[in-house]
Copies of this chain bind each other. A is one copy, B any other.
Amino acid sequence: MAGSRRPGPGGAPTSPGPVSALLRVDGGSPVDLGSLPADATTGFPPEPTGERRPRGGKHDKRAARHAAERTAAELAALQERLYAAATAGDRRRVLLVLQGMDTSGKGGTVKHVAGAFDPAGCRVHAFKAPTAEERAHHFLWRIDAALPPAGAIGIFDRSHYEDVLIARVRGLVPPAVWARRYDEINAWEAGLAADGVTLVKVFLHISRDRQRRRLLRRLDDPDKQWKFSPGDVAERALWPAYREAYEAVLEHCSTAVAPWYVVPADRKWYRNWAVGRLLAEHLAALDPRFPRGELDTERYRARLLAS
């Protein structure tokens, strides 16, 4: 697109709404995660829209919970229209990709966001370490298999980006292999976008201190210890390498058709609110419509009344 002020590698950034505009990463230039505070509450509370907001100070959990409830209702209504539109041939669908360090709240975000949707039209997939069968295929093979069909919302807890994150940090493949994956991912995502997939890629940004607190909490609660893995401590030691790998992802793979959003995630209430808003803004921009068919309603009404 012409006329862009800060073109990313895939073209000019465009934004479906105010929170998206604030959190969006303009790809193509280096990203410094250290300069982005993980406890920020960017864009909250939203601009006054004429409606009364609860008193008691901005940036507060209670207001965010109310705002998130309104967003949930909005998401449910938009999802129904997206789903309905697909029954009339609309191929559009939405894919939320969640990435972030251990304890950044990927699972909690899935729970919060998916809770707004009708499960019939929402597919959640958590990617673990690839199986032997998956490793025998191209790295995008298992991702393709988990994509949402027309009319659906897909939610990925981890994704193909692990193939340029842990694969790079842990050296699971040679540098030449992971290095070419950025372009492969961009090309693949551009194909999806052209086919009607709205990609919403979210990096849940937590601080190293916050991760320590969350890991300690798991360790100290007997009912949470099962979530603790000794491997978490080993991964944490690689924090700088992961940060670098994430910065490379944000620089190389935030494109006009599939941008990345950095969501400060030290505060859970903000994280939930922000991811909900990102989805709501993208869905609203799609503006899916209920099909208006040429159903002969009189005929079927008569048949139903007679049966």
Contact = CB atoms under 8 A, between A and B. Distances in A.
Interface of A: 84, 87-88, 107, 110-111, 114-115, 118-120, 122, 124, 126, 155, 157, 212, 215-216, 219-220, 222-223, 225-228, 230, 233, 236-237, 290-293, 295, 297, 300-301, 303-305, 307
A233 B120 contact: no
Contacts of A84: 223, 226-227
B110 A120 contact: yes
Nearest to A84: B226
B290 A233 contact: no
30 contacts: A84-B223, A87-B226, A107-B118, A107-B120, A110-B119, A111-B118, A111-B120, A115-B115, A119-B124, A119-B155, A120-B126, A212-B304, A212-B305, A212-B307, A216-B301, A219-B300, A219-B304, A220-B301, A222-B290, A222-B292, A223-B290, A225-B291, A225-B292, A225-B295, A225-B297, A226-B290, A226-B293, A228-B295, A233-B304, A233-B307
Which DSSP category, helix, strand, loop or mixed, fits chain A's interface?
helix
Contacts of A301: 216, 219-220
A140 to B, nearest CB: 22
Chain A to chain B: the 9 pairs with minimum beta-carbon distance, closest first: A114-B119, A119-B124, A84-B226, A226-B291, A223-B290, A111-B118, A233-B303, A87-B226, A219-B297
A122 B124 CA distance: 9
A88 B226 contact: yes
Nearest to A76: B111
Contacts of A157: 120
Contacts of A230: 295, 300
B216 A304 contact: yes
Given A228-B295, A297-B225, A304 B215 contact: yes
A55 to B, nearest CB: 27
Given A215-B304, A225-B292, A233-B307, 13 more contacts: A107-B118, A111-B120, A119-B122, A119-B124, A216-B305, A220-B301, A222-B292, A225-B297, A226-B290, A226-B293, A230-B295, A233-B303, A233-B304
B120 A124 contact: yes
Nearest to A155: B119
Contacts of A236: 304, 307
Nearest to A223: B290
Contacts of A126: 120
A18 to B, nearest CB: 28
